[in-house]
Each structure stands twice: as C-alpha cells, then as structure tokens.
Amino acid sequence: MAGNPLTRSNASQFSKAIGRSKISLFGGDDEPVILSLSPDQVRRRGDWQPRRHFDDERQQSLKDSITKHGQLTPIWVQATEEADTYYLVAGERRLIACEELECNVKAFEVTGEPIELALIENMQRDDLNAIDLALAVVRLIDEHNYSQQSVAEIIGRDQPQVSRLLKVAGLPEEIRTEYVTSHSTIGMTILMEIAAIDSPRLQKELWERVKEGATTKELRNAKRERKVAAVRPPVAKFFSAIKKIGAQVDEVAQYRDELDDSQRAALRVFREKIDSILEKR
C-alpha cells in the first residue's frame, strides 16, 4: 500500500506516517521505551528489509563492538498477533549479531508502514551499500509513490543525486552482483559515473577498468576517449572512406574507356567536390 512521502524537513508528516509510536524519531518530550527481547521473539520478513547483502568483516566488527560495548543502537520492531513476539522492521545486522552472541537484543517498538520505515532507517544511517541504497530508492519511488525530491530530503542528498542513484539500480546484473559480492569498497561516485553511460557494453568495459584500480579521474578520461571513438568526427570518417576507395581507383582506371556518360558525370561531380575542399581560402 502506498504511503505518504516522508521528508526530513517535515516532522509532522513523518510522525503521522509512523503513527502513535513509542519512539520520537525527531526528538520530543516522550522518552522512547526500550525492550529487551530474546532474538527468538523477533521474526524476520524478507520483503521488509532493504539490505540484500552482508559484509562478513563488517558483521564481525559489529559483533566485536557489541561484545565490548554492548548494543548501543536498538533495533526497530512491530508487535505481531501473537503475545510477546515481534516483526523486525529495521536492524537486521544487529539482530543477527545478538543471535550469534546468544544475548538479548534491545528494541524500540514502532508503528507505521514497515517497509518505508526500514528503508528510511537504513538510508538515514548511511548503512546500505551503493547498490542496496539505489534499489531502496527505487522501491520508495515505485512502490510508495515518493517523489525524487522527497527521497533526496530523507537521505540528505540533492535531487540530481537521487536521479543518478536510479541509474545505478539499472546497471547490468553482472556489475551489480560483482559489486555486492566482492567490490563493495568501490565508491558510489564511480558507480554513478558508469551508470551515466547508455551502453551496457561500455559500462562493462569501464567496470573492468575500475576493478583493476582505475580512479574516478581516470574513469572520466576513459569515458571521454570512448565517446570520441564512438562518435567519430566527420573528417575522420571521410578519410577512413578515402582509404577504402583509393584501393579501388586503380582498378576502375583500367576500364575508363568502358564508362558510360552517367558514370563519367558522377566522377566529375565527385572531382569538383574534392577540388572545393582543396581550394585555399
């Protein structure tokens, strides 16, 4: 079901969307209620979670942090129809870490549209890789009728950046898969540079260069070079044709006596055009 666009600049609109929550996301007089739950009490719904891939090193770092400092940021949950059980809204990495550490997980109980809340919570915490963030933006726009400007305000970017994120979501599957599985340290700016190209073939070619260590500057230079090569200047095209025709001129010369009037006329017109090019101005 489509929800109302939520913006960082409109706290009342956001509060309306999340309903009478026990947590005030933009600050306020109410103190949030922190629950202490067994991980077994929290159920996951995959269609609510924007994250599609997990980094093993980051997950281990999170577990180490929880072991040393405790869980500093509660997860978000919503009550199910059953007593003392909850659906996970946001914070899947923290829930998994607590499961593996066999400890209780701290949680805020919230109300509202769960998919929207999950997307927004992850995006505002800058806790998604570039591909997951791009796909989350697509979901907010396509499934929940958000405008690009509304999404921009939520995630703290401008509208043109949101537009570029939509193109990142449309990168070839091969690039998206390789990025999330083994190249997620590559910056979002580089992905946006690649996504701005219309040719999937050229996108893949530049992606290979990025995997080899090409910088953003080198990538932009390569794009310019490929663009020049793809759209050759008229002069370059002309002389390329001249080389091909030149090889045939000697052969035609052997049959000059057999040329008819129309063929001779065509050659004269062509000669006049060549002469006009050679004339000095």
- pLDDT at residue 183 greater than cutoff 90: no
For residues 194 and 216, membership in a common domain is answered with yes
For residues 15 and 116, membership in a common domain is answered with yes
111: in domain: yes
Q: Identify the H or E element spanning 34.
A: strand 34-37
For residues 69 and 27, membership in a common domain is answered with yes
Residue 179 has phi, psi (to 5 degrees) of -60, -50
220: in domain: yes
258: in domain: yes
For residues 30 and 121, membership in a common domain is answered with yes
For residues 55 and 120, membership in a common domain is answered with yes
For residues 246 and 222, membership in a common domain is answered with no
For residues 104 and 15, membership in a common domain is answered with yes
Average pLDDT, the chain: 78
| Residue closest to 144 by CA, chosen among 114, 170, 109 | 114
Higher per-residue confidence, 118 vs 226? 118
Determine the structural domain holding residue 87 and report its residue range. Answer: 11-125
CATH number of the structural domain spanning residue 51: 3.90.1530.10
133: in domain: no
215: in domain: yes
For residues 103 and 179, membership in a common domain is answered with no
Q: Which two tokens stand for residue 43?
A: 């159920």
For residues 242 and 217, membership in a common domain is answered with no
203: in domain: yes
pLDDT digits (tens, 9 = 90+) for 147-180: 999 888 877 788 998 999 999 999 999 999 999 8
Please tell me the total count of domains within the chain: 3
For residues 271 and 211, membership in a common domain is answered with no
For residues 68 and 84, membership in a common domain is answered with yes
96: in domain: yes
Residues 219/194, Cβ–Cβ less than 8 Å? yes
Q: How many CB atoms lie within 10 A of CB 108?
A: 20
For residues 223 and 263, membership in a common domain is answered with no
Read off the amino acid at residue 164.
R
- Calculate mean pLDDT across residues 258-271: 85
- pLDDT at residue 6 greater than cutoff 50: no
26: in domain: yes
pLDDT digits (tens, 9 = 90+) for 208-259: 989 888 888 888 887 777 665 554 556 667 777 777 787 788 788 888 888 8
- Calculate mean pLDDT across residues 75-93: 89
